[in-house]
Amino acid sequence: MIAAPPATLLGAFLDIVAPWRDVFPQRRTYRRAVRQAVGSLLCLGRRCLSRIIWTNGGQHRSWSAEYFLHSRCHWDPQALFHTILTRARPLCRGRLVGVAVDDTRVRKTGRCIPQAAYHRDPLSPPFHVNLIRAVRFLGACGKPARLKKTVQRWIAHVCGSPSPSEWANFHPRRNPLE
Pairing relation of β-strands 131-143 and 168-170? antiparallel
With CA atoms as reference, report the closest residue to 139 among 166, 112, 174, 113.
166
| Residue 24 Ramachandran class (φ > 0 left, ψ -120 to 50 alpha, else beta) | beta
Q: Give the tens place of pLDDT for each residue, 10-38.
A: 888 888 889 999 999 999 999 999 998 99
DSSP-derived pairing of the beta strands 131-143 and 117-120? antiparallel
| 81-132 pLDDT tens trace | 787 777 777 777 777 667 777 778 888 888 888 788 888 888 889 899 999 9
Say what the pLDDT of residue 85 is: 76
pTM: 0.62
Instruction: Report the run of H or E that residue 166 belongs to, with start and end.
Output: none
Q: Identify each DSSP E strand in 5-148 by its residue range.
A: 98-107, 117-120, 131-143
Please, what's the b/e burial string for 46-74 (b: 16 or more CB within 10 A of its CB; e: otherwise)? eeebebbbebbebeeeeeeebeebeeeee
Average pLDDT along the chain: 77
Whether 63 contacts 35, CB under 8 Å = no
More confident residue, 75 or 172: 75
C-alpha 121/C-alpha 124 separation (Å) is 5
